[in-house]
A = this chain, B = another copy of it.
Amino acid sequence: MTESDVYARQGFGAVVGSGERPALLVVDFVNAFADPRMLGGGNIEAAVAATVPVLRACRERSLPVVFTRIVYAEDGSDAGVWATKLPALRQLTPDSPANRVVDALAPLPGELVIDKKQASAFFGTDLAPWLVQRRVDTLYVTGCTTSGCVRASVVDAVGWNFRPIVIEDCVGDRAEGPHAANLFDMRQKYADLVTAEAAIRAIAGGA
């Protein structure tokens, strides 16, 4: 019996489907994560490129759009356990060019940019209330890394009862193994997975 058989027999992997009111979440697509010499690498640049037409489709339908960044203060006053585990995070200061959303996806006025200190876009932020206010029920998820902030955000989206739909070609990771393993976990346990093409079609079609 393969591992997928184990999951299938126990009823994992069901498709939840889209609700009535989707939003787009773009996780940590900042310069530092698009640059292999900083925190990037792997398929992240490809994922950025694949996100461009998805973002365009969302804007054409006036869907709510949220970007996230990891941000720590210059003076270290807000660095906690995560910044001890990953000291490289401390370079992600508020005004560093490395911490600007990549030009190809630059936020427009009225789109929300969330500064967070944890992996999840929801932890210690006002993302959930912002989505409540817009009566969102479905969250298309793009960004990086698949095995880090994307997955943590997807798990919390489930907790808040927003249906997460991960756009496979629009999420990236510095390493292929964790990318694939986390797509597997998310598909089995937390999210629907779709291609960018399917997502664009659904968004343009009003679903």
A interface residues (Cβ-Cβ under 8 A, vs B): 3, 6-7, 10-12, 14, 16, 20-21, 38-39, 41-42, 75-78, 80-82, 84-88, 109-112, 117-120, 123-126, 128-133, 135, 137, 147-148, 152, 155-156, 158-163, 174-178, 181-182, 184-185, 189-191
Contacts and interface: CB of A to CB of B under 8 A. Distances in A.
Contacts of A152: 155
Contacts of A155: 118-120, 152, 155
Contacts of A133: 80-81, 137, 161
A85 B161 contact: no
A181 B177 contact: yes
A88 B10 contact: yes
Contacts of A118: 155, 158-159
